[in-house]
Amino acid sequence: MDTPHDPLAGLRPASDPRDPRASSLLLPFTPGASLRDRTVVLGLPYDGGIPSRPGARFGPKALREALSSYGSFDGQRELADIVDMGDLALSSMNASKAHARIEEASRNLFSTGARPFFIGGDHGITGSLLRGLAAARPGLRLALVTLDAHLDVREYDDAASLSSGTPFRRALETSILTGSRTAMIGIRRFANSRYYLSWVREQGVHVYSVEDVAERGAAAIARDALTHVMRDADALYLSVDIDAADAAVAPGVSAVGVGGLSSREMIDVIRTVSADPRLIGADLMELSPPHDENQRTAKLAARLLLEVLSARG
């Protein structure tokens, strides 16, 4: 019997061990291994809260694949391995069950002492992630920095009505977060209502528009935000909605918009915020591969993840 022959043997591109890809940093979770102080990645493939342009449930897979576009060397050192927990099994047909499962997973991860990076998924997920953190560490004084075109503080009736516009309303309802410890960077004109902007200002939230970033510089805005939110905080969480980026650099999002941040500005904010040693968790949401031309948005999302890892050291 003939030995099976690979007709493409020798024709595929060979990996270069002297130039490892960032995708090699993802190591599968070993049951029983300690996660304390480890950076872990968890995919949350749920987009049931997006009113239009569904597709963010494919975001975790696209981001992981885009990591192969980058090396693992940040210019000064090789990045450390991270634990990939895979994707959470989520029902796209039942919002209440999906969010309950997400909240439980968040509570469990934060209880282990891990430093999670969550990949979505629609941004409504972040509300459940922060409620899970509150359940795991009820005495925490959390600071929150968001990078987003939208305020995302819409009113809601119950778990079944949660959407990509509700996460920070839900987060501010927890005992661990206040408006004075919350900063929103990248808020875009014509993307929010007067009513909700007034509401966040009443809560004491620090709001930075795209114009503020253009005038003062992204890193300076991020430093200013940290100065305000960390005054009486003992921990920091970063939430990134990739739609904060301009449509020219991030077409593959759930709510595409013109006049957003540049990729350089996104990187500078992420790098500055992630360098704070009190950062205990982060998420990146709304990457929508079906609308992503040439994987531009996925590559930006992957770069932002690498910036978080690099800044953490």
pLDDT in tens, the chain (313 residues): 455 566 776 666 667 889 999 999 999 999 999 999 999 999 999 999 998 889 999 999 999 999 999 999 999 999 999 999 999 999 888 999 999 999 999 999 999 999 999 999 999 999 999 999 999 999 999 999 999 999 999 999 887 789 999 999 999 999 999 999 999 999 999 999 999 999 999 999 999 999 999 999 999 999 999 999 999 999 999 999 999 999 999 999 999 999 999 999 999 999 999 999 999 999 999 999 999 999 999 999 999 999 999 998 7
Do 53 and 254 meet the contact criterion of CB atoms below 8 Å apart? yes
- One CATH from 3.40.50.300, 3.40.640.10, 3.40.800.10, 3.40.50.2300 for 35-312: 3.40.800.10
d(Cα 221, Cα 215) in Å, to the nearest integer? 10
**10 Å Cβ neighbour count for 312?**
18
d(Cα 123, Cα 254) in Å, to the nearest integer? 10
d(Cα 39, Cα 260) in Å, to the nearest integer? 29
87: which 2 tokens?
Answer: 């994707």
Q: Which candidate, 203, 138, 135, 136, places its Cα nearest to that of 169?
A: 203
Domain residue spans of the chain: 35-312
pLDDT of residue 206: 98
- Give the max Cα distance, the chain: 78
Q: Which candidate, 131, 84, 83, places its Cα nearest to that of 103?
A: 131
Record the pTM: 0.95
pLDDT of residue 1: 44
Give the N- to C-terminal CA distance of the chain in Å, as an integer. 54
| Count of residues making up the chain | 313
pLDDT of residue 60: 98
Do 154 and 40 meet the contact criterion of CB atoms below 8 Å apart? no
